[in-house]
Structure 1
Amino acid sequence: MSNDAVTPGETRFYQGEGQTQPLFRIEPGINCQFAREQASELMGYAQDLVLDGLLERKHNMIWAAHYLNALAKALLDDAELGLAKAKAL
């Protein structure tokens, strides 16, 4: 993996059926390895929220995990795009 690979900033997050306006996008220029590490952290927090939400029967914790996972996926998707572009060079 190239340490010079950066996110291209192409991945956007849409929430809800029929939404055409993204809530956020990944910024271009983030080091791909850093983006992947941050996505892993977010996924760990989301996992904790799901378990706690299920045990405590708090749906808001599960919804929070859903949004954290969406952010983590966007980070991973954009990092993969950046890595593919770096390989193509």
Structure 2
Amino acid sequence: MDKDSPDHLGKLGWTVGTTTCLESEVKGKHLFRVEPGNCADHALQQASELLASARRASFIGVMDDEPVLVWAAHYLSEMAKALMDDAHRGMHESD
């Protein structure tokens, strides 16, 4: 995609930028969208980090009765899913 990218990037493909997350109050709108042209393997690594954080936040939130941490886990999980879905789309486009 980007001629200036190092050779080790993009082996799995690139994000396509079509996946959104976190619904807006306006019907049919979302607050965030994955940017196109990011390395899919890096996007998947970042999704893994988000999920690890979500897991920890949900555990602490439940154990310490901190609903705000449970909501944070929900949002982190939604962002991770968007990254994974968009990377997956890009990986299939590069086939």
Letter in 2 for 1:48: R
Structure 1 residue 9 and structure 2 residue 4: aligned?
A: no
Q: 2:83 pairs with 53, 63, 75, which one?
A: 75
Alignment match of 2:50 (pick from 27, 42, 57):
42
For 1:54-65, list aligned pairs within 5 A. 54-65=62-73
Unaligned ranges ≥5, structure 1: none
TM norm structure 1: 0.89
Percent identity between matched residues is 37
When normalised by structure 2's length, the TM-score is: 0.84
- Indicate conservation of the 8 Å contact 1:14/1:20, yes or no: no
* Residue correspondences, number: 86
CA contact (8 A) 2:22 2:78 kept: no
C-alpha distance in 2 between matches for 1:4 and 1:20: 30
Amino acid at match of 1:50: S
Q: Shift in Å at residue 70 of structure 1?
A: 0.2
Q: Which residue of 1 aligns with 2:93?
A: 85
Structure having the higher helix fraction is 1
Stretch deviating more after TM superposition (12-21 or 44-53)? 12-21
